[in-house]
Structure 1
Amino acid sequence: MKSKGSLLIKLLIIQYLSSLFVAQNFDFFYFVQQWPGSYCDTSQGCCYPPTGKPASDFGIHGLWPNNNDGSYPSNCDPNNPFNQSEVSDLMSSLETNWPSLACPSSDGISFWTHEWDKHGTCSESVLDEHDYFQAALNLKNKTNLLQALASAGINPNGESYNLSDIINAINQSDGFTPSIECNDDESGNNQLYQVYMCVDTSGSNLIECSVSPTGANCANQITFPAF
Protein backbone atom coordinates (compact mmCIF):
# COMPACT_ATOMS: atom_id res chain seq x y z
CA MET A 1 0.00 0.00 0.00
CA LYS A 2 2.81 2.34 0.83
CA SER A 3 4.40 1.88 -2.57
CA LYS A 4 1.07 2.49 -4.34
CA GLY A 5 0.56 5.64 -2.29
CA SER A 6 4.02 6.90 -3.15
CA LEU A 7 3.41 6.20 -6.84
CA LEU A 8 0.10 8.11 -6.72
CA ILE A 9 1.79 11.10 -5.10
CA LYS A 10 4.52 11.07 -7.74
CA LEU A 11 1.93 10.94 -10.52
CA LEU A 12 0.01 13.84 -9.01
CA ILE A 13 3.21 15.87 -8.73
CA ILE A 14 4.09 15.15 -12.36
CA GLN A 15 0.56 16.12 -13.45
CA TYR A 16 0.75 19.35 -11.47
CA LEU A 17 4.16 20.27 -12.89
CA SER A 18 2.95 19.45 -16.39
CA SER A 19 -0.02 21.79 -15.96
CA LEU A 20 2.32 24.55 -14.90
CA PHE A 21 4.48 23.89 -17.92
CA VAL A 22 1.58 24.08 -20.36
CA ALA A 23 -0.24 27.06 -18.86
CA GLN A 24 2.70 29.40 -18.70
CA ASN A 25 1.86 32.92 -17.70
CA PHE A 26 2.34 35.85 -20.06
CA ASP A 27 1.43 39.52 -19.95
CA PHE A 28 0.29 40.34 -23.48
CA PHE A 29 0.47 39.30 -27.13
CA TYR A 30 2.41 40.87 -29.96
CA PHE A 31 0.22 40.75 -33.05
CA VAL A 32 2.67 40.93 -35.94
CA GLN A 33 1.84 41.67 -39.57
CA GLN A 34 4.36 41.75 -42.41
CA TRP A 35 4.43 43.58 -45.73
CA PRO A 36 4.98 41.02 -48.52
CA GLY A 37 6.81 43.48 -50.76
CA SER A 38 9.49 43.93 -48.12
CA TYR A 39 9.74 40.20 -47.51
CA CYS A 40 10.21 39.43 -51.19
CA ASP A 41 12.60 42.14 -52.38
CA THR A 42 15.50 41.17 -50.12
CA SER A 43 18.47 39.13 -51.29
CA GLN A 44 16.74 36.07 -49.82
CA GLY A 45 13.71 36.47 -52.07
CA CYS A 46 10.39 34.66 -51.64
CA CYS A 47 8.20 31.95 -53.13
CA TYR A 48 4.46 32.35 -53.66
CA PRO A 49 2.13 29.66 -52.30
CA PRO A 50 0.49 27.19 -54.74
CA THR A 51 -2.62 29.39 -54.76
CA GLY A 52 -0.60 32.14 -56.46
CA LYS A 53 0.63 35.60 -55.57
CA PRO A 54 -1.01 36.83 -52.34
CA ALA A 55 -3.01 40.04 -52.29
CA SER A 56 -1.13 43.30 -52.01
CA ASP A 57 -1.91 43.60 -48.33
CA PHE A 58 -0.24 43.03 -44.99
CA GLY A 59 -0.20 39.37 -44.02
CA ILE A 60 -0.24 37.88 -40.55
CA HIS A 61 3.11 36.70 -39.21
CA GLY A 62 1.95 35.64 -35.79
CA LEU A 63 0.29 36.18 -32.43
CA TRP A 64 3.06 35.89 -29.87
CA PRO A 65 2.72 35.73 -26.06
CA ASN A 66 5.19 38.08 -24.38
CA ASN A 67 6.10 39.40 -20.96
CA ASN A 68 6.51 42.94 -19.72
CA ASP A 69 10.19 42.30 -18.98
CA GLY A 70 10.86 41.53 -22.65
CA SER A 71 11.05 37.76 -22.25
CA TYR A 72 8.62 35.35 -23.87
CA PRO A 73 7.56 31.72 -23.49
CA SER A 74 7.94 29.34 -26.41
CA ASN A 75 7.20 25.72 -27.35
CA CYS A 76 5.12 25.27 -24.22
CA ASP A 77 3.29 22.03 -25.00
CA PRO A 78 4.95 19.47 -27.28
CA ASN A 79 2.02 17.16 -26.52
CA ASN A 80 -0.41 19.40 -28.39
CA PRO A 81 0.96 19.83 -31.92
CA PHE A 82 -0.82 21.68 -34.71
CA ASN A 83 -3.88 19.76 -35.92
CA GLN A 84 -5.18 20.93 -39.29
CA SER A 85 -8.64 19.50 -38.62
CA GLU A 86 -9.07 21.96 -35.74
CA VAL A 87 -9.00 24.91 -38.17
CA SER A 88 -10.62 23.30 -41.22
CA ASP A 89 -13.31 25.99 -41.32
CA LEU A 90 -10.64 28.72 -41.30
CA MET A 91 -8.45 27.38 -44.09
CA SER A 92 -9.66 29.79 -46.77
CA SER A 93 -9.18 32.80 -44.48
CA LEU A 94 -5.76 31.57 -43.38
CA GLU A 95 -4.62 31.12 -46.98
CA THR A 96 -5.72 34.67 -47.78
CA ASN A 97 -4.63 36.49 -44.63
CA TRP A 98 -1.76 34.34 -43.33
CA PRO A 99 0.10 33.14 -46.44
CA SER A 100 3.57 31.68 -46.42
CA LEU A 101 6.17 33.41 -48.61
CA ALA A 102 9.06 31.17 -47.60
CA CYS A 103 10.92 29.03 -50.10
CA PRO A 104 10.26 26.41 -51.27
CA SER A 105 6.62 27.22 -52.05
CA SER A 106 4.28 26.12 -49.28
CA ASP A 107 0.53 25.83 -48.78
CA GLY A 108 0.97 27.43 -45.35
CA ILE A 109 0.63 24.32 -43.21
CA SER A 110 4.27 24.34 -42.13
CA PHE A 111 4.07 28.07 -41.33
CA TRP A 112 0.93 27.70 -39.21
CA THR A 113 2.36 24.59 -37.57
CA HIS A 114 5.44 26.54 -36.52
CA GLU A 115 3.40 29.44 -35.18
CA TRP A 116 1.08 27.22 -33.16
CA ASP A 117 3.79 24.92 -31.81
CA LYS A 118 6.14 27.75 -30.82
CA HIS A 119 3.71 30.50 -29.78
CA GLY A 120 0.13 29.24 -29.73
CA THR A 121 0.74 26.43 -27.25
CA CYS A 122 1.85 29.07 -24.75
CA SER A 123 -1.63 30.62 -24.79
CA GLU A 124 -3.60 27.40 -24.30
CA SER A 125 -4.88 28.55 -20.92
CA VAL A 126 -7.00 31.17 -22.73
CA LEU A 127 -7.09 30.14 -26.41
CA ASP A 128 -7.33 26.66 -27.88
CA GLU A 129 -5.97 26.11 -31.39
CA HIS A 130 -9.10 27.22 -33.24
CA ASP A 131 -9.56 30.28 -31.03
CA TYR A 132 -5.89 31.21 -31.44
CA PHE A 133 -6.06 31.37 -35.22
CA GLN A 134 -9.52 32.97 -35.17
CA ALA A 135 -8.21 35.66 -32.80
CA ALA A 136 -5.39 36.52 -35.21
CA LEU A 137 -7.79 36.73 -38.15
CA ASN A 138 -10.11 38.98 -36.16
CA LEU A 139 -7.22 41.28 -35.26
CA LYS A 140 -6.19 41.50 -38.90
CA ASN A 141 -9.68 42.74 -39.79
CA LYS A 142 -9.74 45.10 -36.83
CA THR A 143 -6.45 46.83 -37.63
CA ASN A 144 -6.63 47.13 -41.45
CA LEU A 145 -3.15 48.60 -41.70
CA LEU A 146 -3.17 49.26 -45.43
CA GLN A 147 -6.27 51.43 -45.15
CA ALA A 148 -4.89 53.24 -42.12
CA LEU A 149 -1.74 54.16 -44.03
CA ALA A 150 -3.58 55.03 -47.25
CA SER A 151 -5.81 57.45 -45.33
CA ALA A 152 -2.65 59.34 -44.39
CA GLY A 153 -1.34 59.35 -47.95
CA ILE A 154 1.15 56.56 -47.29
CA ASN A 155 1.03 53.99 -50.09
CA PRO A 156 3.14 51.03 -51.26
CA ASN A 157 4.68 52.80 -54.23
CA GLY A 158 8.38 52.65 -53.47
CA GLU A 159 8.40 56.18 -52.09
CA SER A 160 10.13 57.25 -48.88
CA TYR A 161 8.11 58.23 -45.82
CA ASN A 162 8.84 59.52 -42.34
CA LEU A 163 8.81 56.72 -39.80
CA SER A 164 6.95 58.98 -37.38
CA ASP A 165 4.21 59.58 -39.99
CA ILE A 166 3.70 55.83 -40.39
CA ILE A 167 3.45 55.34 -36.64
CA ASN A 168 1.06 58.27 -36.27
CA ALA A 169 -1.17 57.06 -39.11
CA ILE A 170 -1.67 53.67 -37.47
CA ASN A 171 -2.14 55.29 -34.06
CA GLN A 172 -4.80 57.62 -35.45
CA SER A 173 -6.66 54.71 -37.02
CA ASP A 174 -6.44 52.10 -34.26
CA GLY A 175 -5.91 54.25 -31.17
CA PHE A 176 -2.65 52.60 -30.10
CA THR A 177 1.02 53.10 -30.91
CA PRO A 178 2.61 50.38 -33.05
CA SER A 179 6.23 49.35 -33.23
CA ILE A 180 7.73 49.18 -36.71
CA GLU A 181 10.39 46.72 -37.83
CA CYS A 182 12.41 47.43 -40.97
CA ASN A 183 14.64 45.43 -43.26
CA ASP A 184 16.78 46.29 -46.29
CA ASP A 185 16.05 45.55 -49.92
CA GLU A 186 18.70 44.26 -52.35
CA SER A 187 19.89 47.82 -52.94
CA GLY A 188 20.26 48.51 -49.22
CA ASN A 189 17.18 50.71 -48.87
CA ASN A 190 15.65 50.64 -45.38
CA GLN A 191 11.98 49.72 -45.70
CA LEU A 192 8.76 49.04 -43.81
CA TYR A 193 8.70 45.32 -43.05
CA GLN A 194 6.63 44.41 -39.97
CA VAL A 195 4.12 46.14 -37.71
CA TYR A 196 3.77 45.05 -34.08
CA MET A 197 0.59 45.82 -32.16
CA CYS A 198 0.03 44.81 -28.54
CA VAL A 199 -3.03 42.81 -27.52
CA ASP A 200 -4.41 41.82 -24.11
CA THR A 201 -4.18 38.23 -22.89
CA SER A 202 -7.66 37.41 -24.19
CA GLY A 203 -6.34 37.90 -27.72
CA SER A 204 -9.19 40.30 -28.46
CA ASN A 205 -8.35 43.88 -27.52
CA LEU A 206 -5.55 46.15 -28.65
CA ILE A 207 -3.62 47.77 -25.80
CA GLU A 208 -0.74 50.18 -25.44
CA CYS A 209 2.58 48.34 -25.49
CA SER A 210 4.52 48.17 -22.23
CA VAL A 211 7.73 47.17 -24.00
CA SER A 212 8.97 47.51 -27.58
CA PRO A 213 10.32 44.58 -29.58
CA THR A 214 14.04 44.43 -30.14
CA GLY A 215 15.71 44.73 -33.51
CA ALA A 216 13.45 47.30 -35.15
CA ASN A 217 16.35 48.67 -37.26
CA CYS A 218 14.41 51.56 -38.77
CA ALA A 219 15.84 54.80 -40.10
CA ASN A 220 13.92 58.07 -39.80
CA GLN A 221 13.00 57.79 -43.50
CA ILE A 222 11.91 54.41 -44.84
CA THR A 223 10.49 53.19 -48.13
CA PHE A 224 7.19 51.39 -48.62
CA PRO A 225 7.83 49.09 -51.60
CA ALA A 226 5.23 47.91 -54.08
CA PHE A 227 4.12 44.30 -54.20
Structure 2
Amino acid sequence: MTKSNRRALLAIFLVTQSVAILTAAKDFDFFYFVQQWPASYCDSRRGCCYPKTGKPAEDFSIHGLWPNYDDGTYPSNCDSSNPFDDSKVSSLESVLQEHWPTLACPSGDGLKFWRHEWEKHGTCAESGFDERGYFEAALLLKKKANLIQALKNAGIRPADGVFHTMSQIKDAITKGVGYEPFIECNVDSSGNHQIFQVYQCVDASATNFIKCPVLPHGRACRNKVEFPSFSTASSRDEL
Protein backbone atom coordinates (compact mmCIF):
# COMPACT_ATOMS: atom_id res chain seq x y z
CA MET A 1 0.00 0.00 0.00
CA THR A 2 1.42 3.38 -0.99
CA LYS A 3 1.77 6.27 1.38
CA SER A 4 -0.95 8.22 -0.47
CA ASN A 5 -3.37 5.28 -0.15
CA ARG A 6 -2.67 5.01 3.57
CA ARG A 7 -3.38 8.73 3.97
CA ALA A 8 -6.65 8.38 2.06
CA LEU A 9 -7.77 5.47 4.24
CA LEU A 10 -6.83 7.38 7.37
CA ALA A 11 -8.85 10.38 6.21
CA ILE A 12 -11.90 8.16 5.51
CA PHE A 13 -11.53 6.54 8.94
CA LEU A 14 -11.38 9.90 10.71
CA VAL A 15 -14.43 11.20 8.86
CA THR A 16 -16.35 8.01 9.69
CA GLN A 17 -15.44 8.29 13.35
CA SER A 18 -16.46 11.94 13.47
CA VAL A 19 -19.87 11.13 11.96
CA ALA A 20 -20.32 8.29 14.46
CA ILE A 21 -19.50 10.60 17.37
CA LEU A 22 -21.96 13.25 16.13
CA THR A 23 -24.66 10.64 15.63
CA ALA A 24 -24.16 9.24 19.11
CA ALA A 25 -24.30 12.73 20.61
CA LYS A 26 -27.64 13.45 18.93
CA ASP A 27 -30.14 11.90 21.33
CA PHE A 28 -33.32 12.85 19.44
CA ASP A 29 -34.67 15.54 17.09
CA PHE A 30 -37.77 17.00 18.71
CA PHE A 31 -40.52 16.38 21.26
CA TYR A 32 -44.18 15.61 20.94
CA PHE A 33 -45.93 17.51 23.72
CA VAL A 34 -49.23 15.70 24.20
CA GLN A 35 -52.26 16.92 26.10
CA GLN A 36 -55.55 15.07 26.47
CA TRP A 37 -59.14 16.05 27.15
CA PRO A 38 -59.89 14.16 30.40
CA ALA A 39 -63.59 13.52 29.82
CA SER A 40 -62.79 11.94 26.44
CA TYR A 41 -60.40 9.59 28.20
CA CYS A 42 -63.21 8.65 30.58
CA ASP A 43 -65.65 8.17 27.69
CA SER A 44 -63.38 5.65 25.96
CA ARG A 45 -63.79 1.89 26.14
CA ARG A 46 -61.25 1.59 28.95
CA GLY A 47 -63.16 3.99 31.18
CA CYS A 48 -61.45 5.92 33.94
CA CYS A 49 -61.16 6.44 37.68
CA TYR A 50 -60.84 9.90 39.13
CA PRO A 51 -57.57 10.47 40.96
CA LYS A 52 -57.45 10.37 44.75
CA THR A 53 -57.37 14.17 44.73
CA GLY A 54 -60.81 14.29 43.09
CA LYS A 55 -62.39 15.02 39.72
CA PRO A 56 -59.99 16.97 37.44
CA ALA A 57 -60.89 20.38 36.04
CA GLU A 58 -62.64 20.67 32.68
CA ASP A 59 -59.32 21.52 31.04
CA PHE A 60 -56.63 19.80 29.05
CA SER A 61 -54.20 17.73 31.07
CA ILE A 62 -50.69 16.61 30.21
CA HIS A 63 -50.16 13.12 28.85
CA GLY A 64 -46.47 13.37 28.15
CA LEU A 65 -43.39 14.99 26.65
CA TRP A 66 -41.96 12.43 24.22
CA PRO A 67 -38.60 12.57 22.41
CA ASN A 68 -38.83 11.65 18.72
CA TYR A 69 -36.72 11.33 15.60
CA ASP A 70 -37.46 13.07 12.31
CA ASP A 71 -37.98 9.71 10.60
CA GLY A 72 -41.01 8.93 12.77
CA THR A 73 -39.30 6.53 15.17
CA TYR A 74 -38.59 7.29 18.81
CA PRO A 75 -36.31 6.20 21.64
CA SER A 76 -37.75 4.67 24.80
CA ASN A 77 -36.63 3.30 28.17
CA CYS A 78 -33.15 4.69 27.62
CA ASP A 79 -31.60 4.43 31.08
CA SER A 80 -32.66 1.72 33.52
CA SER A 81 -30.03 2.99 35.96
CA ASN A 82 -31.99 6.21 36.45
CA PRO A 83 -35.41 5.14 37.78
CA PHE A 84 -38.09 7.59 38.86
CA ASP A 85 -37.43 9.07 42.29
CA ASP A 86 -40.56 10.70 43.71
CA SER A 87 -38.51 12.72 46.20
CA LYS A 88 -37.12 14.77 43.29
CA VAL A 89 -40.58 16.06 42.36
CA SER A 90 -42.19 16.06 45.81
CA SER A 91 -42.41 19.86 45.87
CA LEU A 92 -44.16 19.75 42.46
CA GLU A 93 -46.64 17.07 43.47
CA SER A 94 -49.69 19.29 43.94
CA VAL A 95 -49.02 21.09 40.64
CA LEU A 96 -48.54 17.80 38.82
CA GLN A 97 -51.77 16.45 40.31
CA GLU A 98 -53.59 19.49 38.94
CA HIS A 99 -52.04 19.60 35.46
CA TRP A 100 -50.80 16.02 34.95
CA PRO A 101 -53.42 13.89 36.73
CA THR A 102 -53.84 10.14 36.39
CA LEU A 103 -57.18 8.77 35.21
CA ALA A 104 -56.18 5.11 35.25
CA CYS A 105 -57.94 2.58 37.45
CA PRO A 106 -57.77 2.02 40.31
CA SER A 107 -57.62 5.61 41.57
CA GLY A 108 -54.09 6.79 42.19
CA ASP A 109 -52.02 9.73 43.34
CA GLY A 110 -50.18 10.13 40.03
CA LEU A 111 -46.86 8.57 41.03
CA LYS A 112 -47.29 5.46 38.87
CA PHE A 113 -48.21 7.58 35.84
CA TRP A 114 -45.30 9.97 36.31
CA ARG A 115 -42.91 7.06 36.86
CA HIS A 116 -43.96 5.54 33.56
CA GLU A 117 -43.52 8.84 31.68
CA TRP A 118 -40.08 9.51 33.16
CA GLU A 119 -38.69 6.02 32.71
CA LYS A 120 -40.05 5.48 29.18
CA HIS A 121 -39.63 8.98 27.77
CA GLY A 122 -37.83 11.27 30.20
CA THR A 123 -34.70 9.12 30.47
CA CYS A 124 -34.26 9.51 26.71
CA ALA A 125 -33.92 13.27 27.17
CA GLU A 126 -31.75 13.22 30.27
CA SER A 127 -28.75 14.67 28.43
CA GLY A 128 -30.69 17.94 28.63
CA PHE A 129 -32.89 17.41 31.68
CA ASP A 130 -32.73 15.79 35.04
CA GLU A 131 -35.95 14.29 36.38
CA ARG A 132 -37.28 17.48 37.95
CA GLY A 133 -36.31 19.53 34.91
CA TYR A 134 -38.24 17.18 32.65
CA PHE A 135 -41.49 17.64 34.55
CA GLU A 136 -40.95 21.39 34.93
CA ALA A 137 -40.44 21.70 31.16
CA ALA A 138 -43.76 19.97 30.47
CA LEU A 139 -45.60 22.16 32.97
CA LEU A 140 -44.17 25.30 31.37
CA LEU A 141 -45.19 24.10 27.90
CA LYS A 142 -48.77 23.57 29.07
CA LYS A 143 -48.85 27.11 30.41
CA LYS A 144 -47.29 28.46 27.23
CA ALA A 145 -49.72 26.61 24.93
CA ASN A 146 -52.79 27.50 27.04
CA LEU A 147 -55.07 25.54 24.74
CA ILE A 148 -58.24 26.29 26.67
CA GLN A 149 -57.67 30.04 26.30
CA ALA A 150 -56.78 29.72 22.61
CA LEU A 151 -60.12 27.97 22.04
CA LYS A 152 -62.07 30.48 24.12
CA ASN A 153 -60.50 33.33 22.13
CA ALA A 154 -62.06 31.76 19.05
CA GLY A 155 -65.46 31.44 20.71
CA ILE A 156 -65.08 27.72 21.42
CA ARG A 157 -66.01 26.72 24.94
CA PRO A 158 -65.20 23.06 25.54
CA ALA A 159 -67.72 20.92 27.43
CA ASP A 160 -70.63 23.19 26.46
CA GLY A 161 -72.39 20.44 24.49
CA VAL A 162 -71.79 22.14 21.14
CA PHE A 163 -70.17 20.42 18.16
CA HIS A 164 -67.36 22.27 16.39
CA THR A 165 -65.61 21.73 13.07
CA MET A 166 -62.04 20.48 13.01
CA SER A 167 -60.99 23.52 11.00
CA GLN A 168 -62.33 25.82 13.74
CA ILE A 169 -60.40 23.96 16.42
CA LYS A 170 -57.16 23.68 14.45
CA ASP A 171 -57.33 27.33 13.40
CA ALA A 172 -57.84 28.44 17.01
CA ILE A 173 -54.87 26.44 18.31
CA THR A 174 -52.67 27.46 15.37
CA LYS A 175 -53.47 31.12 15.99
CA GLY A 176 -52.74 30.77 19.70
CA VAL A 177 -49.53 28.75 19.46
CA GLY A 178 -48.22 29.54 15.99
CA TYR A 179 -48.18 26.03 14.54
CA GLU A 180 -50.88 23.58 13.51
CA PRO A 181 -51.41 20.70 15.92
CA PHE A 182 -52.19 17.06 15.21
CA ILE A 183 -55.48 16.09 16.83
CA GLU A 184 -56.53 12.56 17.72
CA CYS A 185 -60.15 11.63 18.38
CA ASN A 186 -62.03 8.80 20.02
CA VAL A 187 -65.61 7.68 19.37
CA ASP A 188 -68.28 7.48 22.06
CA SER A 189 -71.07 4.89 22.32
CA SER A 190 -73.30 7.06 20.12
CA GLY A 191 -70.70 7.25 17.35
CA ASN A 192 -69.77 10.87 18.03
CA HIS A 193 -66.15 11.88 17.50
CA GLN A 194 -64.55 13.51 20.51
CA ILE A 195 -61.35 15.51 20.83
CA PHE A 196 -59.07 13.13 22.71
CA GLN A 197 -55.44 14.23 22.39
CA VAL A 198 -53.64 17.25 20.98
CA TYR A 199 -50.05 16.77 19.76
CA GLN A 200 -47.76 19.75 19.42
CA CYS A 201 -44.14 19.64 18.32
CA VAL A 202 -41.41 21.25 20.37
CA ASP A 203 -37.70 21.71 19.71
CA ALA A 204 -35.13 19.50 21.44
CA SER A 205 -34.63 22.06 24.20
CA ALA A 206 -38.34 21.71 25.10
CA THR A 207 -38.64 25.48 24.84
CA ASN A 208 -40.15 26.47 21.49
CA PHE A 209 -43.09 25.13 19.55
CA ILE A 210 -42.15 24.18 15.99
CA LYS A 211 -43.75 22.85 12.81
CA CYS A 212 -44.01 19.08 13.16
CA PRO A 213 -41.24 17.33 11.20
CA VAL A 214 -43.47 14.25 11.02
CA LEU A 215 -47.03 13.66 12.17
CA PRO A 216 -47.87 10.99 14.74
CA HIS A 217 -50.28 8.13 14.25
CA GLY A 218 -53.72 8.32 15.81
CA ARG A 219 -57.43 7.98 15.09
CA ALA A 220 -58.47 10.59 12.58
CA CYS A 221 -61.33 12.96 13.38
CA ARG A 222 -64.50 13.60 11.46
CA ASN A 223 -65.27 17.13 10.43
CA LYS A 224 -67.56 17.74 13.43
CA VAL A 225 -66.33 16.90 16.91
CA GLU A 226 -67.19 17.59 20.53
CA PHE A 227 -65.51 18.10 23.87
CA PRO A 228 -67.52 15.92 26.28
CA SER A 229 -68.02 17.02 29.86
CA PHE A 230 -67.58 14.87 32.93
CA SER A 231 -71.36 15.04 33.36
CA THR A 232 -71.78 12.99 30.17
CA ALA A 233 -68.74 10.73 30.62
CA SER A 234 -69.03 8.41 33.59
CA SER A 235 -66.05 7.25 35.56
CA ARG A 236 -65.94 3.88 37.29
CA ASP A 237 -66.07 5.80 40.57
CA GLU A 238 -69.69 6.67 39.76
CA LEU A 239 -70.77 3.24 38.53
Q: Please say if residues 23 and 122 of structure 1, whose CA atoms lie closer than 8 Å, have aligned partners that are also in contact.
A: no
User: Are residue 83 (structure 1) and residue 85 (structure 2) matched?
Assistant: yes
Matching residue of 1:17: none
Report what 1:29 is aligned to: 31
Amino acid paired to 2:117: E
List 4+ stretches of structure 1 deviating above 6 A. Answer: none
Partners of 1:159 and 1:225 within 8 A in 2: no
Of the candidates 174, 181, 205, which is equivalent to residue 177 of structure 2? Answer: 174
Q: Is the 8 A contact 1:24 1:76 kept in 2?
A: no
Structure 1 residue 222: Cα displacement: 1.2
**Residue 203 of structure 1: aligned partner:** 206
Larger Rg: 2
Cross-structure match for 1:165: 168
Distance apart, 1:192 and its partner CA: 0.4
Distance 2:205 2:167 in 1: 29
Q: Which amino acid counterpart does residue 89 of structure 2 have in structure 1?
A: V
Superposed, 1:75-114 pairs within 5 Å as 75-114=77-116
1:60 to 47, 59, 62: 62
- Contact 1:23 / 1:124 at 8 angstroms: preserved in 2? no
Distance 2:49 2:63 in 1: 16
1:188-208 residue CA offsets vs partner (Å, 9 max, x unmatched): 211101101111111111111
TM-score normalised by the chain length of structure 2: 0.83
Tell me what 1:5 maps to.
none
The count of residues paired between Structure 1 and Structure 2 equals 207
C-alpha deviation, 1:24, in angstroms:
6.4
Aligned to 2:150: 148
Task: Please give the alpha-carbon distance, in whole angstroms, between the structure 2 residues aligned to 1:130 and 1:172.
Answer: 31
2:192 to 168, 189, 214: 189
Per-residue displacement from partner, 1:67-111 (whole Å, max 9, x unpaired)? 111000000001101000111121111010000001110100000
1:152-172 superposed Cα distances (whole Å, 9 cap, x missing partner): 121222321111111110010
User: 1:74 is matched with which residue?
Assistant: 76
Task: Report the CA distance between 1:23 and its aligned residue.
Answer: 6.8
Question: Which amino acid counterpart does residue 212 of structure 2 have in structure 1?
Answer: C
Following TM superposition, by how much is the alpha carbon of 1:215 offset from its aligned partner in structure 2, in angstroms?
1.7
Amino acid at match of 2:228: P
Mapped partners of 1:94, 1:134: distance in 2? 9
* Deviations 1:129-157 (CA, angstroms, capped at 9, x unpaired): 01000000000111111111111121222
Structure 2 equivalent of residue 138 of structure 1:
140
**In 2, Cα distance between the equivalents of 1:37 and 1:158?**
12
Partner Cα separation in structure 2 for residue 175 and residue 73 of structure 1: 27
Give % identity.
61
User: Aligned in 2, Cα 1:191/1:179: closer, same or farther, shift over 3 Å?
Assistant: same
Q: Secondary structure at the match of 2:204?
A: coil
Determine the C-alpha separation between the residues in 1 that align with 2:222 and 2:125.
Answer: 34
**Which range is displaced more, 194-203 or 155-164?**
155-164
Residue 172 of structure 2 aligns to a residue whose secondary structure is helix
RMSD: 1.5
